[in-house]
Amino acid sequence: MKKKVLHLQLLPLLSGVQRFSLHLLDGLPAEEYEISVACKPGGEFVSEIQKRGWNFIALPSFRHPVSPWDIVTFLHLIYLMRRHRFDIVHTNSSKPGLLGRIAATICGVSRVVHTGHGTPYLPHQAPLVYWSYLQIEKLANCFCDRVIYVNNTDRFKAIELGVIPAEKALTIYNAMKEKPVVDKRASNKELVTIGSTLRFSEQKNVLRLIPALCKAARQNDKLKFIILGDGKHLQLCRSIVASFRLSDRILLPGWDSEVAPWLKLFDVFILYSRWEAMPFSIIEAMYAGLPVIGSNIPSIAEFVNDKVGWTVPLDAEEALIETLISLPASPDTIKGKGKAALAWVKQISDYPAMIDAYRAVYEGKR
């Protein structure tokens, strides 16, 4: 008899957290698992679920901020879990992790697993907010069998803070089922193209990043930038670029779900985030043979070092600009770090290893 597994997500966007579910569930043997995915209706993520023939369960009352509707969602989850009698419930991110894990435990689900794609408690938060989120996460961790962290930084920190017992926490690195093909770039290009795929949000630090790109482009006319994505700050960032009169060299084309063709245009990838877990965008970039410029936050520094790219202190605009304007004079360095990035990501981000690790968790072997 097949094991009935539910993946619980919040938003129907096709961002890193949702893509994680797609990559993982794609790797589960169809003859062993019956797959259901629940989240808010609408969006590309739902289309991908339905394209694969999995059971989609709509949660129309789910909201991203804290809301009275959370009570409705919680009761809906209890109803669904009692109706479908899932063998495994796998929650993702903070709010689905809290509501889903408690509901699954109440309903007697035999295996409850949570993947924390980052943590809800962050250093920049007000002390009371930080403490509150830490206590909520500590409570939620009581209602599951295992918590998976996608980097060691978050796992070690959670254990240190007493958020979770060490024996309940595991690290499993994200990995991709399909990887972009490495492009053969011409070594005599006049411009160095630096690109990214991201959401124009506070997390991705775009209101610091885009002005720095503009100033770097002003100082070195051999730089070009392509920042792919959407989000609430996209129009403001376009206005910033226009104010510098650099719209021909700093392109913000919006979002495109087909990322691989864009990666072939890049020479270097950049992700200057304020906080992260293990971004699929960096994994994709490295598999495309791109060196990475990343903010020197612990979770990114765990994967990006001086052999495969450059790390720059957060909010250090001058240091970021200096790194950017130095690149056109260093084509051999770019090429060498790109090759090292490809070798490194093959070592740390192995798709069969990720699938085997999660199956072991599902089956209670880890």
pTM: 0.90
Distance CA 282, CA 143 (A): 32
Q: Give the per-residue pLDDT at 288.
A: 94
Q: Give the per-residue pLDDT at 219.
A: 97
Both 141 and 220 in a single domain?
Answer: no
Which residues partner with 195 through β-bridges? 226, 269
Q: Per residue in 253-270, pLDDT tens?
A: 999 988 989 999 999 999
Both 154 and 197 in a single domain?
Answer: no
Both 198 and 164 in a single domain?
Answer: no
Distance CA 88, CA 42 (A): 24
CA distances from 181 to 185, 288, 338 (A): 12, 6, 13
Indicate the pLDDT class of residue 184, thresholds 50, 70 and 90.
Answer: low
Give the phi and the psi of residue 214 in degrees, each rounded to 5.
-60, -45
Both 104 and 18 in a single domain?
Answer: yes
How high is the mean pLDDT of the chain?
Answer: 94
- Domain with 51, as residue range(s), is 3-175+350-362
**Number of residues in the chain:** 366
Distance CA 356, CA 55 (A): 23
Q: Which residues make Cβ contacts (< 8 Å) with residue 93, sequence separation at least 6?
A: 9, 10, 17, 116, 117, 118
Both 18 and 31 in a single domain?
Answer: yes
Q: Per residue in 22-73, pLDDT tens?
A: 999 999 999 999 999 999 999 999 999 999 999 999 999 998 888 899 999 9
Both 357 and 339 in a single domain?
Answer: no
Give the phi and the psi of residue 100 in degrees, each rounded to 5.
-70, -40
Distance CA 301, CA 280 (A): 15
Distance CA 99, CA 103 (A): 6
pLDDT at 235 over 90: yes
Both 322 and 237 in a single domain?
Answer: yes
Cα–chain-centroid distance for residue 323?
24
Both 259 and 278 in a single domain?
Answer: yes
Which CATH number goes with the domain that contains 126? 3.40.50.2000
Both 238 and 96 in a single domain?
Answer: no
Look at the chain and report how many structural domains it folds into. 2
Cα–chain-centroid distance for residue 304?
15
